[in-house]
Structure 1
Amino acid sequence: MLVDSHCHLDFPDFADELDQVVARARLAGLGAMLTIGTHVTRFEPVRALTDRFPDVWCTVGIHPHEAGREPVHDAEALARLAEAPKVVGFGETGLDYFYDHSPRADQERSFRAHLEAARLTGLPVVIHTRDADEDTARLLREEYEKGPFTGLIHCFSGGADLARTALDLGLYLSVSGIITFPKAQNVRDVIATVPLDRLLVETDAPYLAPVPFRGKRNEPAHVVHTAAAVARLKGVPEEAFHQATTDNFFRLFATCVRPAGPAASAASAS
């Protein structure tokens, strides 16, 4: 079994064939998919997917791109939203200095609120960071000093220093299709050093389709190609890698119910 730890099933890219997309994921061996919140104002369609599909779970959060446009939510407000059934974490949140679609001060305020919500509830936080390694590491350390929290850096593409900070704080790193891109040797070099028990895999669908689908719309079923690439990089048999990353996912997202045996088969058939 595999898990897609980060996708966006509510995005319009999937509107016309979502049932088929989920069916293909199940046929590819996925036991669960985590669809990620990016706007609190659009949270209900994300949450509704978890009613529609028994093997889909979700998070609630504000993407850094939207931090300057979405209503301001403090940690308590985020925590209240997370009381909805099948909400298993916060985010995605973080810092994006590549696009700077929202002012950096708003990104930081929102990021800190999500980290505080993670502290308050014990639920993990999904972190987005791009061209912001130093500030991301600084904020993580500062917030961790206020009290521990759990989470992951999704679609990891940062440097060794950020990876070290995240691992030192007990966070996980999630690997996307970027790992298969020819020019991503720097990412492969970092991921090669990360302990297997701290890795997850994801698609970030509909984005970042791995080779051999690069340039096309991504979908959860394609996570098997990312997993195969990371397994080769780590020198681990694919089945063992699937088992390890699945265990890691359910350890981190501890309120997500793990399918087993007949339950998994029932989800696939529904």
Structure 2
Amino acid sequence: MSERAAGNFPADEPTANASGSEVDEVLPNPARIYDYGLGGSRNFAGDREAFHKLLEVDPDARTVVRSNRAFLRRAVRSCLERGIGQFLDLGSGVPTVGNVHEAAREMNPGAHVVYVDDEPVAAAHTRRLLADQPNAGIVEEDLRAPDAVLGAAETRRLLDFSQPVALVMASVLHWVGDDVGQLLARYREALVPGSALVISHLTDEDLHEQMRQVEAIFDETSAPVTYRRRSRAAELFAGFDIVDPGVVYCSEWRAEPHESLAEPERTKIWAAVGVKR
């Protein structure tokens, strides 16, 4: 029985993406696995099974996703404090609690947010969630197609690229392969000085053997993982000045005392924010 038949989705939840192809309810998808890890309900049995496999090899798996979401909230706040009120969130996934537009409107109710994701369940739920949000929208595109993303109607409607924009790539670049440099260069071209780049990224540098087991689990999903170490952050932030506290584990990035971890490497995710020169 499908998850839809089991009643885990509203009756009007779309079963196909924008191109009309059916949603694969069997093959686990990282966006839906992440949603389940955060306590969301937009996921299928295979996604939940994959997350429980992650818990077997990494008992801190829930800490990983929650720490990343907490970093995202703090990074959004940092951008707002710099006067940036526009956000392009690439690979946004299922918008569970603490998403960008919710975090942004706490400080700036007029902030504009464009989410980008090509996973059909994530896009459909985002579209429903934003139905009464005139300052936020969803572009159902692959983030690896920057021209399509930047030229989309919702992007043009909501974002003014003559003014600073925060480009958010939270826990997404590890699903992008070797062409990541060219991809970032294209998005960087669209940003004016003073814009921000927010990145969080899985790494295997301190827990190598454990992360090999995590990698094997993601090899069985729709998006195998590519780890990048913190030493590669300078390449990803080419053209940007990384702000304090630099490239650190996500639980260390301007964390409140209750968000810090005695062993920050348990998050397996480094994080940083840069400002375009």
User: TM-score, normalization: structure 1?
Assistant: 0.37
Q: TM-score, normalised by structure 2?
A: 0.36
